[in-house]
Every structure is written in structure tokens, then in C-alpha cells.
Amino acid sequence: MSSQKTEHYQLHQWQPQDEVRRTEFNENFQLLDGAVRLVCGAYKGDGEATRFIDLGATPRAVWVTGINNDESGVNGGLAFPGIPSTYGAYALKVVTVEEGGFNVYFHSSPNITSNSGGTHHYIALI
């Protein structure tokens, strides 16, 4: 049986004198499988009103930034499940968390998370 655990994830750690048990390995794997993962990526804007970015899992949070074609501005937003990133007095959606990924929306500048041809970067916590 392990005599110590790691500080943050409480994973089993064994000392030379400890008996190693398979169940402790399985517990470690379950804890790691449930841990938050950081996913980073980029996509090219297509100018469509809405675009779904498939992550293969629903993010706990996603931050998207975009740079428009003439590089005069960087815009985007931070969204959580049920809490979209919005812009302006009309609360125009910029980024929303969805099942399996997130949506980005195209509005006239400065909401450019889906502008045509621009490269947009994101960080998602899954």
C-alpha cells in the first residue's frame, strides 16, 4: 500500500518498502482522467454568422482571441457554460460554450472572432 500521496491530485506514491497494489494504479488513472486539460488551437475565420469549433469535449471555459486581416485590432472573449462572451449595449454574442466545443460569431468589427481569413487562437479548459 502506498505510504504517500501527491500534493495536488492526491495520487498514490510508493516508497521502496511499500507494497504496490493494482487498485492504487487504477485510482491514480481515474483521478488523472478527471483532471482539467488545457487545449490550445487556432482556426481561420470563414465570415459565417456562426461557426462551431469542435473540441471533442465540452469545455469548462474557453478564451478566444482574433486578429483582423489588417492586424489593427485583437478581440474575442472568455465564455463559460451558460455564460457567453458578449459585446456592446445589445449584448451581441461573441463566444458561447456548447456541447463538444464552442461557437464563435461574426459581427462587424470589433467582434471579429469569425471574420473571413483572419487567424483566431483559443485556449480551452476541458
Whole-angstrom distance, CA of residue 35 vs CA of residue 28: 11
Provide the greatest CA pair distance for the chain.
Answer: 66
Domain residue spans of the chain = 4-33, 38-125
pTM across the whole model: 0.75
Q: Are strands 85-87 and 74-79 parallel, antiparallel or unpaired?
A: unpaired
pLDDT at 120: 86
H or E element at residue 120: strand 119-125
Compute the average pLDDT of residues 20-40.
Answer: 93
| Coil, helix or strand at residue 124 | strand
Each residue of 5-19: pLDDT tens digit? 999 889 999 999 999
Is the predicted pLDDT of residue 73 greater than 50, yes or no? no
Each residue of 55-66: pLDDT tens digit? 999 999 999 986
Compute the average pLDDT of residues 84-99.
Answer: 87
Percent of the chain with pLDDT strictly greater than 90? 57
